[in-house]
Amino acid sequence: MAALASAAGVSKSTVSIALRNSPRLPLATRQRIQNLAAQIGYRPDPTVAFIAGAGWRRPRGFTGLVLAYLSGDRTANAGFEQGARARADALGYRLEAFDTCRAETVATLPRVLRQRGINGVVIAPQLRTAPFALAWSEIAAASCGMGVWQPPVSGVVPDWFGGTLAALREVQRRGYRRIGVVHSADDPSRRDCVARTCGATYAQRTFCDAAFSLHESNAGAGQREDLSAWLRSFRPDAIVSAFPRGSLDLRTLLPNWSGELGYVELDADPADATVAGLDAADAAQGSRAVEIVDRLLCEHRFGPPAHIEITQLIPTWHSGTSLPERLCDASDPELPAKEAVINLPRSAKLPPHPADVPWNSIVLARCS
């Protein structure tokens, strides 16, 4: 670290803060030191950081070099693991994945973690609902992706509100002016469904030079006819699907689907190059989850937290052939008026879009 600090012209404490990506330093300073560290091949020693943060109290068997990654579906959540592995390597850890779809893995997991002194755990979305029988009082854990964990831990989830706005802005940027958003009415209480709907509603009130229509689709025999009637009425040039990944491809309901109609999924599969949309299981969430575990280990904070911290990240945009660039005349006389879905006073002050806020200069905490 001394050599890196000398090369960067800063103190060792500044190098430590920069490598932890702390907002205490300006973004340009952090990036300069991180790039220099990558050039000279410097990697921090998490064991030293842990011992220093714990006041030289070291639990028996702790190695400080391995993090456990618990995944219920490694194929569907490959982005999480990719980001977690890259960030763990950068911080000096080795990430070891455990497939919790296998009953024998779940049965032996408590013994394996205990015998190998693994105290840092990253939890990806699980297919199982039963809690893991781990010694949680000795573990620093964080989750990534949507899910309900027992016991509750801090973690990272997609920002569906901001992501929906970002996706609609991208659709508008590519030249589409009549944008229809189709969401499910089957489970309106789901947090992600509510956030997507709110994001689309916000876009209706704030976006210029575009018309929006929100359509609530009910699964069942009449779904095809209902969707066709809405298409004839609103005549969108792009459709945005708010259905969860893999649950429904709206194009399958319309046998006469036109290639001129843009299509976007708010929970798209990044492995499918034909569909544009948001990757809700991107590497950034796995990376941030590792950073949370690293911080907990260095601060010697084990066990279920007294206060749960949830970080929201806007999902990554995934380009696909279903949303090509197109030319659109903004003065189109047939541009339909915006549909009113919510009633807000005209004097109401709406908050700025997340992309318009200088987050690099802000340290943010949220309650409630």
Planar angle of CA 366, 165, 351, nearest 5 degrees: 50
d(CA 342, CA 339): 9
pLDDT band for position 34 (cuts 50, 70, 90): confident
Q: What is the pTM of this model?
A: 0.70
Residue 254: what pLDDT?
64
Report whether pLDDT(196) > 80.
no
Q: Which residues contact 163 (CB under 8 A, 6 or more apart)?
A: 199, 266, 278, 280, 314, 315
Question: What does residue 252 show for φ and ψ, rounded to 5 degrees?
Answer: -70, -15
Residue 342: what pLDDT?
35
More confident site: 167 or 201:
167
List strands edge to edge, sheet with 94-99. Answer: 94-99, 66-71, 120-123, 140-144, 155-158, 310-313
Instruction: State the DSSP H helix or E strand holding residue 228, giving kind and residue range, or none if neither.
Output: helix 223-234
Structural domains for the chain: 12-42 (no CATH), 66-157+281-313 (3.40.50.2300), 160-280+316-344 (3.40.50.2300)
pLDDT in tens, 48-71: 555 554 443 334 334 458 999 998
pLDDT in tens, 86-131: 999 988 899 999 999 888 889 999 999 988 889 999 999 887 778 8
